Amino acid sequence: MKPTDIAAPDYFHKVVDCQWACPAHTPVPEYIRLIAQGRYSDAYMINWKSNVFPGILGRTCDRPCEPACRRGRVEENPVAICRLKRVAADFKDDIRQRLPKPGPKNGKRVALVGGGPASLTVARDLAPLGYHCTVFDADPEAGGMMRTQIPKFRLPNSVIDEETGYILNLGVEFKGGHRIDSMKALLAEKYDAIFVGSGAPRGRELELPGRKEAAANIHIGIEWLANVSFGHVDKIGKRVIVLGGGNTAMDCCRTARRLGGEKVTVVVRSGFDEMKASPWEKEDAIHEDIPILNYMVPVAFKHVAGKLIGVTFQHVKAEYDAKGRRNLVPSGDPDQTIPCDDVLVAVGQENAFPWIEQDCGIEFDKWHMPKVDPKTFASTNPKVFFGGDAAFGPKNIIWAVAHGHDAALSIHKMLSGEAVDERPLPEVQISSQKMGIHEWSYDNDISPDKRYKVPHRDKVVALKDIRAEVELGYDVKLALGEAHRCLNCDVQTVFSTSLCIECDACADICPMDCITFTANGEESDLRQRLKAPSAHPDQDLYVSSDLKTGRVMVKDEDVCLHCGLCAERCPTGAWDMQKYFIEMTHAGSTCPTKSRSAA
């Protein structure tokens, strides 16, 4: 193999698995260290810069970082990254002085359709640069799906108000209760750029026999959740069936439990393990006495004289064809009818752009989705950009934020007369953490603790009040324990070939057997000759150039604890622990400048 080019920004970025997996590339280990130091405001600001909604995401994020977390490959559970983010939000001081100020107006106007996370991120990035941002939303308050679809017992209004407020206070104009019905009309208002962040607002229908007749008691999940959120709906029947296996279904069933649903059942077509809902959301639902029945396909709504009395299901089983594709085929068991008073349909969401006229210069593909550049988020109309669920269909908040940053950068470049498709490199800093012979400026003593559970409100109390937040968040002590579980993957092991005397000290001390000195070879061959088996080929090998004896140093990044023992036991300083800080380039920092980061 060729010697690893550690100067390429992606190499060390990939080692920080959580940050690499995060769509917004939040510097996770950096803010976890700040939490451990009690510097909650600093931790919050790092998050705020990167993911805009730390308090909201700390409660609701889909956390792609956690399955990626290296700790999950070392022991059973990853670090509770998401809930530590909430800790930063919960315990911070008043940070308003640290937020950017509205910049002097540059005379350019940007319209943002939809007041959800994508649009608000664009506004956050552009307003301080002097753009006049106008956010339109059909709802009276900002937040979009974060406010309408996520139940208050998971995300209180106060958190949404606070974090959307930080953005609106940057001089962003918010036009609530103002639905945009025509793109053409909007274009006619001569905005310099338009960003569409209108989400995936339509809940998918389930056209089955009885749907029309029993319509009074069959509700579309996201619409019903929005009605609950605005107080238009405050009760439901005692027996409720929720159809669907995603996070919306989990929110529906748990909300139903709080509005009078005594016997709430979730029914999914596929297997329990293949459900789209996050594992922790399934756990929370089960904890609230909601059974989840699987491999049952709804075939009809049963009704008597227009009154829903139940849903009939066919039992199925999974069969795999020669290509490994799964098919659900009838299992042969007789159909089953589950009696109920109400049904909540949460079988998916769809995009809908009836308000975009065909002659706006915005092309759509055969799935009726706008043609959007995945890098620049530009549509075929150079003035119109898309982001969030509106761009590529339903995802989640953190993706919407990432889209928003990229779209804001595109808009800024376009309106500054720069090429939109030339994307600036991220800003990277790397610095040694060595303080003394065996002293590092980070805590390298690996905590053996298991993942700490987040305290929950007592179930009886929680089920009585739909606005009582179920998760109470870590207290300071629990947060400290959990923060210590972080392996500091951003403190990189950096190897200098010229200093190595091949004494084997690093290979001997490494608790994870990551380091091997051996003859060079092709990657597949080298992976066979490592001290410990290489279980994850997607994890890189760090290969040195030729050493004095003709061998090379090979380090499997896979399960490195970043404990720094290789560097402590190295007599010549050939190994060093260097903190690698990478920040994505947002609008306004197109030319990376040196800025100090917290230690």
Partner 1 sequence: MTYIAKPKFHHPGLKKNALGYTHRDYEGKISTLCAGCGHDSITASIIEACYELSIEPHRVAKISGIGCSSKTPDYFLGNSHGFNSVHGRMPSVLTGANLANRDLIYLGVSGDGDSASIGFGQFAHSIRRGVNMTYIVENNGVYGLTKGQFSATADRGSKSKKGVTNTDNAIDLVAIALQLGATFVARSFSGDKSQLVPLIAAAIGHKGASFIDVISPCIAFNNHAGSTKSFDYVREHNDAVNRLDVLVGRDPIAVDYAPGTVQVVEQHDGSKIALRKIDADYDPHDRLGAQTFLARHAAKGQIVTGLLYVDPEAEDLHEHLNTVETPLNALEADTLCPGSAVLDKINASLR
Binding site for partner 1 (CB under 8 A): 73-75, 438, 444-446, 448, 501-505, 507-509, 511-514, 532-533, 535, 548-549, 559, 561, 563, 565, 568-572
**HSE (CB half, 13 Å, CA atoms) of 92?**
25
Q: CB of 64: closest distance to partner 1 in angstroms?
A: 22
Q: CB of 67: closest distance to partner 1 in angstroms?
A: 16
Q: CB of 72: closest distance to partner 1 in angstroms?
A: 11
In the complex with partner 1, the residue whose CB is nearer, 7 or 437, is: 437
CA distance 313 to 269: 9
Tokens read off for 469: 């937040």
Q: CB of 512: closest distance to partner 1 in angstroms?
A: 5
| DSSP E strand stretches across 433-574 | 434-436, 439-440, 491-495, 515-518, 541-543, 552-556
In the complex with partner 1, the residue whose CB is nearer, 140 or 511, is: 511
CA distance 403 to 391: 9
Contact 354, 183 (CB under 8 A): no
In the complex with partner 1, the residue whose CB is nearer, 69 or 218, is: 69
Q: CB of 75: closest distance to partner 1 in angstroms?
A: 7
Contact 297, 270 (CB under 8 A): no
CA distance 264 to 238: 8
In the complex with partner 1, the residue whose CB is nearer, 74 or 316, is: 74
In one-letter notation, the amino acid at residue 129 is L
- Report the C-alpha dihedral over residues 341, 347, 351, 352, rounded to 10 degrees: -30
In one-letter notation, the amino acid at residue 189 is E
CA distance 478 to 335: 49
Show Cβ contacts of residue 426 under 8 Å, excluding neighbours closer than 6 positions.
Answer: 9, 13, 25, 582, 583, 584, 585, 592
In the complex with partner 1, the residue whose CB is nearer, 32 or 243, is: 32
In the complex with partner 1, the residue whose CB is nearer, 449 or 465, is: 449
CA distance 556 to 523: 11
Q: CB of 465: closest distance to partner 1 in angstroms?
A: 42
Q: CB of 510: closest distance to partner 1 in angstroms?
A: 9
In the complex with partner 1, the residue whose CB is nearer, 5 or 445, is: 445
User: Exposure of 221 by Cβ count < 10 A (0-12 exposed, 13-18 middle, 19+ buried)?
Assistant: buried
In the complex with partner 1, the residue whose CB is nearer, 56 or 566, is: 566
In the complex with partner 1, the residue whose CB is nearer, 504 or 525, is: 504
Residue 393: Cβ within 10 Å count:
13
CA distance 514 to 509: 10
Q: CB of 358: closest distance to partner 1 in angstroms?
A: 56
In the complex with partner 1, the residue whose CB is nearer, 70 or 124, is: 70
At 292 the three-state DSSP class reads strand
Nearest one of 374, 362, 363 to 410, comparing CA atoms: 374
Contact 505, 565 (CB under 8 A): no
Q: CB of 520: closest distance to partner 1 in angstroms?
A: 17
Q: CB of 511: closest distance to partner 1 in angstroms?
A: 5
